[in-house]
Amino acid sequence: MTETMIRMSGVSKRFGPIAAVDGIDLEVRRGEVVGFLGPNGAGKTTTMRMLSGLLSPSEGSIAVAGVDVLENPVEARARIGFLPENPPIYGEMTVREYLDYLATLRRVPGNRLTESVNRAMERCGLTAVANRLLRNLSKGFKQRAGIAQAIVHAPDVVVLDEPTVGLDPIQIREIRALIRELGGEHSVLLSSHILPEVRMTCQRVAVIHRGRIVADDTLESLEKRGHGRSIHFARWRSLPSPEALRAIAGVADIHPRDDGWLIGALPESDPVPELLRLSVSQGWDLRELTPAGGSLEEIFLQLTTREERPEEGEESAA
């Protein structure tokens, strides 16, 4: 029995002259929860659609549990559960009807249908709302129903695309706990651009930028790369231009966050004194300047804040 549940080799996807995904290699082993991390437009969604059989790659090969997605698409899809960013919810159905329907489409045998649906509802915390219409549920419960449909047929691989987008903090915590539990039975590939999500749910991280995998390692190994330089969060009343911040001596990169900027320093450099001086002389009215914790955030910035090309991934292609 193969221990590699996902194998992508030299996979590219082009939309005309634009390479949304450019020659990536990615492996996920049995029982792993792997974060697929990258900024918006990096190629995450295109990659996951190819893995799930919704798009054909322009080049390369994809196998799920040893089954080639292109040569045996029906068998490969039977081994995958996919939750897209917008869950495929049928509002006029109850939760039980919805899962019954999708389990039937995925060829769950009739003598196992009720058991499979009940188990998926129990794992996703849906038993109490089994007979309610999906359209009347909160977004958090709809997201749970989306995850339930992805696991109702007991797939080897579960692919989750931005599973906590739009949820409130309590719902996010519950969905993250559910994702960690899934890793005990399935191999999980979790797409996100939210760093705390990856840190709290995944054992390994693959970072994609401009359609290419730029890092693939454990969280511990990635975080070791962040040492040797500082990063600060700064917030002003009058927001300075990105160009003015990049021109400060010792600044390596900047990245917007909330209503301010994350400012990364070059190794052995300290741009803070000049940043303070300019904030006063230019009248920016500095409101906050604090060290930004979390070296995973630092390495993510190092890998993904280079100058962007004009055509940015699948969004531009679309």
CATH architecture of 4-224: 3-Layer(aba) Sandwich (3.40)
Residue 298 banded pLDDT, cuts 50, 70, 90: low
Q: What is the pLDDT of residue 181?
A: 86
Q: Where are the domains of the chain?
A: 4-224, 231-304
How many whole angstroms separate alpha carbon 276 and alpha carbon 286?
A: 8
Q: What pTM, to 2 d.p., does this model score?
A: 0.73
Residue 230 banded pLDDT, cuts 50, 70, 90: confident
Percent of the chain with pLDDT over 90: 58
Instruction: Tell me if 205 sits within 8 A of 198, measured CB to CB.
Output: yes
Q: What is the pLDDT of residue 312?
A: 39
Q: What is the pLDDT of residue 224?
A: 60
Predicted confidence (pLDDT) at residue 50 exceeds the cutoff of 90 = yes
Based on C-alpha coordinates, what's the Rg of the chain? 22
Choose the most confident range, by mean pLDDT, from 129-133, 259-263, 284-288.
129-133
* Mean pLDDT calculated for residue range 45-51: 93
Q: What is the pLDDT of residue 318?
A: 36
Predicted confidence (pLDDT) at residue 303 exceeds the cutoff of 80 = no
* Mean pLDDT calculated for residue range 48-56: 92
* Mean pLDDT calculated for residue range 218-232: 68
How many whole angstroms separate alpha carbon 152 and alpha carbon 222?
A: 34
Q: What is the pLDDT of residue 243?
A: 92
Has domain 231-304 been given CATH number 3.40.50?
A: no
Q: What is the pLDDT of residue 313?
A: 42
Predicted confidence (pLDDT) at residue 136 exceeds the cutoff of 70 = yes
Give the phi and the psi of residue 285 in degrees, each rounded to 5. Answer: 60, 70
User: What SS3 string covers the chain?
Assistant: CCCEEEEEEEEEEEECCEEEEEEEEEEEECCCEEEEECCCCCCHHHHHHHHCCCCCCCEEEEEECCEECCCCHHHHHHCEEEECCCCCCCCCCEHHHHHHHHHHHCCCCHHHHHHHHHHHHHHCCCHHHCCCEHHHCCHHHHHHHHHHHHHCCCCCEEEEECCCCCCCHHHHHHHHHHHHHHCCCCEEEEEECCHHHHHHHCCEEEEEECCEEEEEEEHHHHHHCCCCCCEEEEEECCCCCHHHHHCCCCEEEEEEECCEEEEEECCCCCCHHHHHHHHHHCCCCEEEEEECCCHHHHHHHHHHCCCCCCCCHHHHHC
Question: Could you report the per-residue pLDDT of 159-213, keeping only the tens digit for each?
Answer: 999 888 878 888 888 888 888 888 878 999 998 877 778 888 898 999 999 999 9
Tell me the two tokens of residue 104: 């039937």
Instruction: Tell me if 244 sits within 8 A of 271, measured CB to CB.
Output: no
* Mean pLDDT calculated for residue range 38-55: 90
> What count of Cα atoms within 13 Å lies in the side-chain half-sphere of residue 256?
9
Residue 297 banded pLDDT, cuts 50, 70, 90: low
